[in-house]
Amino acid sequence: MCSVPGLNKRPRLGARRGGARRSPEGRGHSGVESVISILLLGLLLLIGLGVFIRQFDVDMGRFGIDTTTAGPLLEQTEPNMQEPALDALMPDGFKKFSEIETYDAGNLYEKINGKAPSYTESGFVKLFTQRFISKDDENLWMELFVFDMAAIRNAFSVYSVQKRADAGMLAFAKPQPCYRTSNGLYFIHGKFYVELIGSTESVALDKAMAEIAVKFASQKIVDDDKITEFALFPEKDAVQGSFKLYLANAFGFDAFTDIFTCRYKLGDETITMFLSKHPDPQDAQTTAESYYNFLIENDATDKPTANKTLKDIGAKVLDFYDTTEIIFAIGPFIGGIHEAENQKAAEELAARLLDKLSNTAKTIKND
C-alpha cells in the first residue's frame, strides 16, 4: 500500500496556516480577531470605568433630597461680603414680627417659588427678609426683602424689570432710584435690591417704609458703583425713572444682552429707546446685524427713511407688525428704537441717540 504524502497530515499545535492560530481542538483565530477582541475588552473596561466614576456624581436633588442644607455646597454659596443689619432698620412705633430669614440660590424658591429664576438668573447671591408690625395696630405689618444681587447692574436689572406701572418716584438723596406704590416701597442701594411690602394701604406704613429706606441707604455696606450707560441717553423728553436693564434675551433675541432702555414722550407718542455697550466696534456691528436678521426672519420688512443722519450711518429701519424698529451700531455701541407706533418720531429720537453716541464713541477713540 502506497502512502500518500500529506494526506493524513494534521497541522502542528500552534502552527500558523494562512495566518490562523490553531487551538488544541483545531479551532483557529486570526490576528484580526485578536485585535478586535482586545479592542472590545478595552471598550468594556472604559465603559466600566465611566460608570464607576459617574456614580460619584449623582444629582440627589433629582430624587427629592435636599442638598442645600449642609456641606460644601453651602460653603460655596456663602457670600464673602458685608451683610445688611436688618434689626437696625426697625422704624419707630414698630416691633419685630418675625426673625430674620435668609435664602440662597438653592432655596430661594421656598420664599418666592416661581419667581426665583428671575433672580437666580440675574446674579442673585442671598435674600434677607424680616417682618415688622405696628405696636398699635396688629393689621399694620410689612415685610422687608433685601436681595443681594452681587453687583449694582444686577440689582438695577431686577428692580427695573419689575417696576410697577403706577410707580411714584421718590426724591430721596439716597437710596436712588426709589419708588412707591399704594402698599409698597422699592429701591436699589449698590448691589442690593430692596422691597418693602405692606399688609395694606396705610399712611403709617408709608412713613415707616420711607424711614427704613433712608436708614438702609445710610448703612456703609456697598461700593459706590455707578451705571455709566444712563448718561449716554439723551435727556430731552426722557420719562423720569423709566430706565430698564435687560441682562439677557432682550426683545426676545438671545444675543441681546445688557440692553438698557428708556422711554421718551414726544407729543402723544411714548417711544422706547435702547442701547448697549459692547467690548469693541466689531462686536457691536455683528450683534446689530444679527438682530436685524432676527427681525427679518420674524417677518419684519425694511422701510425707506428720509432721515439723513440715519441713512449716513447705515441704520436699519424696519416695519415690524405695524411698528417701527430702528437699529444701528456706532463705535462700541448698539442703539435704536423698539416698537414705535410713529416712524417719524422714532427716527427723530434715533437720530438724537446717534448724535450723542457718536460724540461718546469719538471720545473713546481719542482716549
Catalog residues that contact another protein under the rule CB under 8 A: 4-7, 9, 17, 26-28, 58, 61-66, 98, 109-118, 141, 143, 162, 164-167, 181-184, 195, 197-201
- Residue (181 or 257) nearer to another protein, CB: 181
DSSP class of residue 233 equals S
- Residue (66 or 280) nearer to another protein, CB: 66
- Cβ of residue 164: shortest distance to another protein, in angstroms? 4
- Residue (140 or 326) nearer to another protein, CB: 140
CB neighbour class for 189 (10 Å; exposed up to 12, middle 13-18, buried from 19): buried
- Cβ of residue 185: shortest distance to another protein, in angstroms? 10
In SS3 terms, 281-342 reads as: HHHHHHHHHHHHHHHHHCCCEECCCCCHHHHHHCCEEEEECCEEEEEEEECCEEEEEEEECC
E-strand ranges in 57-210 read 94-96, 101-104, 126-134, 141-148, 168-169, 178-180, 184-189, 192-198
E-strand ranges in the chain read 20-22, 28-30, 94-96, 101-104, 126-134, 141-148, 168-169, 178-180, 184-189, 192-198, 244-246, 259-266, 269-277, 301-302, 316-320, 323-330, 333-340
- Cβ of residue 322: shortest distance to another protein, in angstroms? 19
- Cβ of residue 345: shortest distance to another protein, in angstroms? 26
- Residue (79 or 117) nearer to another protein, CB: 117
Evaluate whether 298 touches 323 at the Cβ level (below 8 Å).
no
Closest by alpha carbon to 208, among 143, 111, 127, 138? 143
- Residue (199 or 285) nearer to another protein, CB: 199
Q: What whole-number distance in Å separates Cα of residue 305 and Cα of residue 197? A: 48
- Cβ of residue 303: shortest distance to another protein, in angstroms? 28
Closest by alpha carbon to 183, among 147, 224, 142? 142
- Cβ of residue 110: shortest distance to another protein, in angstroms? 5
- Residue (59 or 223) nearer to another protein, CB: 59
Helices (H) and strands (E) in the chain, counts: 9, 17
What percent of the chain is helix, strand and coil (3-state, nearest 5)? Answer: 35, 25, 40
- Residue (91 or 336) nearer to another protein, CB: 91
Evaluate whether 310 touches 328 at the Cβ level (below 8 Å).
yes
- Residue (40 or 231) nearer to another protein, CB: 40
- Cβ of residue 150: shortest distance to another protein, in angstroms? 20
- Cβ of residue 287: shortest distance to another protein, in angstroms? 26
**Alpha-carbon Rg for the chain in angstroms:** 33
- Cβ of residue 221: shortest distance to another protein, in angstroms? 23
- Residue (67 or 359) nearer to another protein, CB: 67
Evaluate whether 174 touches 189 at the Cβ level (below 8 Å).
yes
Q: What whole-number distance in Å separates Cα of residue 216 and Cα of residue 238? A: 29
- Cβ of residue 212: shortest distance to another protein, in angstroms? 15
Cell of 231: 448718561
- Residue (136 or 224) nearer to another protein, CB: 136
Cell of 266: 414726544
